[in-house]
Structure 1
């Protein structure tokens, strides 16, 4: 280290970095509408209705000759997309690190997902199998693209800027999701005024998310730049998917503190994802709220998540990312506890719950991403972020499983929602035990003054 030449950063260097960061924000702006409008609001109910249209008298469809209850087809398609992503992400991540050319991989994944989403316009009648294929392709492509997008963070932001940059990226995504969802809801709720049927309105909403995704992806592809591969990534990338993933986790065993953070993230993020996916079930089945109230709550979460991500990014500059995340986990726990006592048939309480979730949601995710970026060894960004993305998407069945078992045993959605507290409490304890400054040093990265 003593022989390294210290280079003073010029104003051109700073301007170039800011340009890349602004381009990077716009990928979240581009792809988040898929998560919000497609996955969260429109596709699940619509694809289920298409599958029911194609079902036999017993209520089953038969993709590839396998009997599947029509009401389960969407969930099975999502699960299959996660499996596909888990197989592909490690391969792409290692190849991107080996070649140093992340941008072509990012573009290929993004436009594959955008094209599949746009193709959902043709999902009509009884074409449930087309919908399943497009969902698997779009969802897997989004996971691969997000892995590559996240891996840019340690390259475009020095340690002292990373929390703020990550938070702005999440804020851009939630802002785009809110904007497009408002437009989609206007079309959906007033489809008759626009002279289209309800199903046509849904198909337009789905396809518009794909066009938005593809159109705004041009900005990061123009502004981000590739970098020469680091020596640490030499020789990686030719191993098949699962073996590549196993090799990545074996490499992490030499950095047990990075692995310890990933375990903590796996636990509390599973709780976050379960709350997001099951909140509407809780609202409709336990609280007796209507569809318009639930969609309004989703929109409120999106809007407030922008403010939450930016606010928690500022708090991290004062208290450090780790302490801010720990504080957010306390807030999640208190929010769930309060949600357990909401009165039935009272939308105001549910909107307050949605507001609390929105304020901690974006910041929890943004700061977790930026903190993990400090724990990734140089030259292995995409490979290590493939493991992060697998933790984010590939293990999100544990929370729903606990939620379902609790409901089955107790018959109460209130007991089911409060059972999720265990993920936030355990995640808090695991994260609190991680010495992040030592973990950053062990990964070979400079330790920020405040972390």
Structure 2
């Protein structure tokens, strides 16, 4: 294996590690445990509302922090250090779930918010490091590799966690509640362990800093200059607006799917099975979308994936049976990784590589700002109307308008390895 390939695998290993938080915590066990254990004393609409608030507050924090921290990281070569800080925040917050008792929904909400900040802000710096390990010609393949390993790694640990929850006696645990709490600790360990290859193997050139205050001042100045420059980089800001809209739908479906299934009366065991399907279908599908992009072009591959999302969201409004939920999960698994991976690689080709931290700060800022609106839109719609089906249907608009804006983005010229 070449040194270049080893660096790419080390970079992608972070996806393998942090995806456990996305699967076991965000999409899987946290919504169920929140509803049935931590917030069992709240009514259904209130539980959905507070789940949406926690997701939105964490995303809003990233919206405010990511561009500035990205500019500071670019100035001082600090991407890996910032990544380490936010990884530690996410890992420690996730492990702390173990000590949250029944009915302590407020503490659980705060820890979920902190863990989500660590996950989302860390992802911004992780994404920006792709320019350190891949050329433009390699971007789609390497980005798809990261998401594919994320689906596989997150899926493997999630499978173990599900078995622990369904059969706690197999693991010497008292009950499903204890198994769930231990699962959160395992997520923290998994995340920390598989982050190490990136910190050890992915290169980053350090530059002389100007002290904390000097770096912040320089970062603010660079952020101001980049905001001005963005007005002249039409393909970049057009893509950001498109991404802002369509990733809203993607992220909201990930965050609220289990809550939606519970609202329709589906058993939690069936919802967990559906999530497992998404993970293991997503592994080969993400790799396949790297190949599809090479054949059709990245934008056409994105159109294909987003079209499937439009169909799935409309279908969700009419959902009646658990089997239909399984089929919907399978369809999402086929395209979810493709949308995520190809959006990242396409954007990386549009931006100046020497400012990747700052520009990926904007990328994640808009993505997370969308995640501020999406869960709140779903939560408020259900709170006001009492209709869970209507709340999910509003997401179709974001996919459609996002595709239309994407069609107006000019194709980037190819660059060499940076």
Q: TM-score, normalised by structure 2?
A: 0.88
Moved more, 205-214 or 243-252: 243-252
Deviation, 1:219, is: 1.3
1:183 aligns with 2:160: yes
Moved more, 261-270 or 96-105: 96-105
Distance 2:214 2:326 in 1: 48
Decide whether aligned partners of structure 1 residues 414 and 83 sit closer, same or farther in structure 2, where only a CA change above 3 A counts.
closer
Deviation, 1:87, is: 3.0
Distance 1:101 1:408 in 2: 43
Q: Which secondary structure state, in structure 2, belongs to the residue aligned with residue 212 of structure 1?
A: helix
1:225 corresponds to which residue? 203
Tell me if structure 1 keeps the 8 A contact 2:245–2:370. no
Distance 1:17 1:103 in 2: 18
Decide whether aligned partners of structure 1 residues 331 and 130 sit closer, same or farther in structure 2, where only a CA change above 3 A counts.
closer
Among 313, 326, 332, which residue is 1:357 paired with? Answer: 332
Q: Which secondary structure state, in structure 2, belongs to the residue aligned with residue 396 of structure 1?
A: helix
1:329 corresponds to which residue? 306
Per-residue displacement from partner, 1:306-347 (whole Å, max 9, x unpaired)? Answer: 1221111101111111111112112222233344444x2x32
Among 298, 322, 337, which residue is 2:275 paired with? Answer: 298
Decide whether aligned partners of structure 1 residues 402 and 203 sit closer, same or farther in structure 2, where only a CA change above 3 A counts.
closer
Decide whether aligned partners of structure 1 residues 242 and 42 sit closer, same or farther in structure 2, where only a CA change above 3 A counts.
farther
Tell me if structure 2 keeps the 8 A contact 1:33–1:181. yes
Decide whether aligned partners of structure 1 residues 311 and 426 sit closer, same or farther in structure 2, where only a CA change above 3 A counts.
same
Which of 1 and 2 has greater Rg? Answer: 1
1:137 aligns with 2:114: yes
Q: Which has the higher contact order (CA 8 A, sep 6+)?
A: 2
2:415 corresponds to which residue? 446
Decide whether aligned partners of structure 1 residues 145 and 405 sit closer, same or farther in structure 2, where only a CA change above 3 A counts.
closer
Q: Which secondary structure state, in structure 1, belongs to the residue aligned with residue 353 of structure 2?
A: coil
2:237 corresponds to which residue? 259
Alignment of 1:205-354 (within 5 A): 205-227=183-205, 237-239=215-217, 248-286=226-264, 288-342=265-319, 344=320, 346-354=321-329
| Structure 1 spans left out of the alignment, 5+ residues | 1-13, 61-68
Per-residue displacement from partner, 1:104-156 (whole Å, max 9, x unpaired)? Answer: 22222212321221222222255555434432332212122111110011221
Distance 1:369 1:46 in 2: 32
Deviation, 1:210, is: 0.3
1:429 aligns with 2:416: no
Deviation, 1:215, is: 1.1
Deviation, 1:421, is: 1.8
Q: Which has the higher helix share?
A: 2
Decide whether aligned partners of structure 1 residues 402 and 117 sit closer, same or farther in structure 2, where only a CA change above 3 A counts.
closer
Tell me if structure 2 keeps the 8 A contact 1:30–1:173. yes
Q: Which secondary structure state, in structure 1, belongs to the residue aligned with residue 101 of structure 2?
A: coil
Q: Which secondary structure state, in structure 2, belongs to the residue aligned with residue 157 of structure 1?
A: coil
Moved more, 72-81 or 388-397: 72-81
Tell me if structure 1 keeps the 8 A contact 2:58–2:117. yes
Among 145, 150, 153, which residue is 1:168 paired with? Answer: 145
Q: TM-score, normalised by structure 1?
A: 0.82
1:27 corresponds to which residue? 14
Distance 1:414 1:133 in 2: 28
1:17 aligns with 2:8: no
Tell me if structure 2 keeps the 8 A contact 1:98–1:237. yes
Deviation, 1:186, is: 0.7
Distance 2:49 2:30 in 1: 13
Tell me if structure 2 keeps the 8 A contact 1:270–1:392. yes
